[in-house]
């Protein structure tokens, strides 16, 4: 008999609105894994203590969310290939006694995107230049995106992402300063919200975006998981766009994270179903 559970979890601030814990725990139970996932509120100045605590308690790994995806790197022992390129970590994995930073955000997003459209040779407009945006931009570029326009209020952060994409990938990236309602250029294939705008509790917030420049042949994706039906997703669907909510990215990166931690392949439908139960949503007309 073994009464010791293997621990995993998440460090973020705020963390209460993050449904990852329910999704991961559902997968653990479905596959009869004696594992637990603990959602932890961790302030920036306490992140080092949290990582040291995870080491001390023998955690198999943990996720990092806002605002820790870049700051956590200094407390880790090394980085995986994609995390090193991206410069951000959302998943730490204990390997041979060392905590290695990985990034599953971009991989999870691209997998979700491919359920509706192949990013290869597509033109993308992406709002945001934080850790999630860096991951999504890099993985979309590696998947063959032809052009990525990064729209962000901070010129320094936006140009940093553009430089990364142009130097490390074959895509053509450009920066546009986000000033007023941005107009989506004609010929854009995919529009991505990689910011926290619309995240609970500010559910009525929407991007400063001229919605009249969206067209029905565009794919609109939002990384916000709570609520899945953000104002952007709702209004884009009304226009006739194919929409992708944040649950797809969340589920897919969760599948990858569990594989990193446990070596087990888990069923993504179990995780998606749990999230749909929580938010009482259907996935008709969305991926």
Out of 41-50, 67-76, 106-115, 275-284, which region has the weakest mean confidence (pLDDT)?
Answer: 275-284
Query: What is the predicted pLDDT for the residue at 117?
Result: 96
The whole-number average pLDDT for the span 140-146 is 96
Q: Where are the domains of the chain?
A: 6-102+248-279, 116-244
Q: Is 226 left (phi over 0), alpha (psi -120 to 50) or beta?
A: beta
Same fold across 6-102+248-279 and 116-244: yes
Residue 117 annotated in ligand binding: no
Residue 158 annotated in ligand binding: no
Residue 267 annotated in ligand binding: no
CATH of domain 6-102+248-279: 3.40.50.10860
Number of CB atoms found within 10 A of residue 121's CB:
10
Q: Whole-prediction pTM value?
A: 0.86
Q: Hey, which residues are catalytic here?
A: 69
- The confidence band for 222, taking pLDDT boundaries of 50, 70 and 90, is very high
Number of CB atoms found within 10 A of residue 14's CB:
13
**Residue burial 94-105, b: 16+ Cβ < 10 Å; e: rest:** beeeebbbbbbb
Residue 97 annotated in ligand binding: no
d(CA 130, CA 268): 26
DSSP string, 200-213: TT-TT---SB-GGG
Q: Please give the helix or strand (H or E) that residue 221 lies within, else none.
A: strand 219-222
CATH 3.40.50.720 fits 116-244, yes or no: yes
């Amino acid at each position: 008999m073994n009464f010791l559970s293997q621990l995993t979890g998440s460090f973020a601030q705020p963390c209460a609105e993050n449904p990852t814990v329910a999704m991961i725990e559902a997968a653990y139970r479905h596959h009869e894994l004696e594992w637990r996932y603990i959602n932890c509120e961790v302030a920036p100045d306490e992140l080092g203590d949290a990582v040291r605590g995870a080491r001390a308690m023998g955690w198999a790994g943990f996720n990092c969310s806002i605002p820790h995806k870049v700051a956590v790197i200094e407390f880790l022992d090394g980085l995986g290939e994609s995390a090193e390129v991206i410069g951000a970590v959302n998943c730490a994995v204990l390997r041979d006694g060392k905590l290695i930073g990985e990034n599953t955000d971009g991989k999870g997003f691209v997998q979700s995107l491919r359920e509706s459209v192949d990013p290869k040779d597509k033109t993308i407009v992406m709002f945001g230049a934080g850790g999630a945006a860096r991951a999504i931009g890099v993985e979309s570029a590696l998947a063959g995106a032809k052009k990525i326009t990064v729209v962000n209020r901070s010129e320094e952060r936006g140009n940093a992402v553009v430089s990364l994409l142009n130097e490390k990938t074959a895509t053509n990236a450009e920066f546009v300063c986000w000033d007023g309602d941005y107009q989506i250029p004609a010929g854009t294939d995919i529009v991505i919200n990689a910011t926290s705008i619309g995240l609970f509790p500010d559910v009525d917030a929407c991007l400063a975006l001229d919605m009249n420049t969206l067209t029905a042949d565009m794919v609109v994706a939002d990384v916000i998981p709570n609520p899945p039906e953000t104002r952007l997703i709702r209004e884009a669907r009304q226009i006739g766009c194919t929409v992708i909510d944040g649950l797809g990215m969340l589920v897919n990166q969760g599948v990858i994270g569990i594989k990193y931690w446990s070596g087990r392949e888990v069923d993504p439908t179990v995780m998606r179903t749990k999230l749909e139960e929580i938010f009482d949503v259907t996935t008709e007309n969305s991926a």
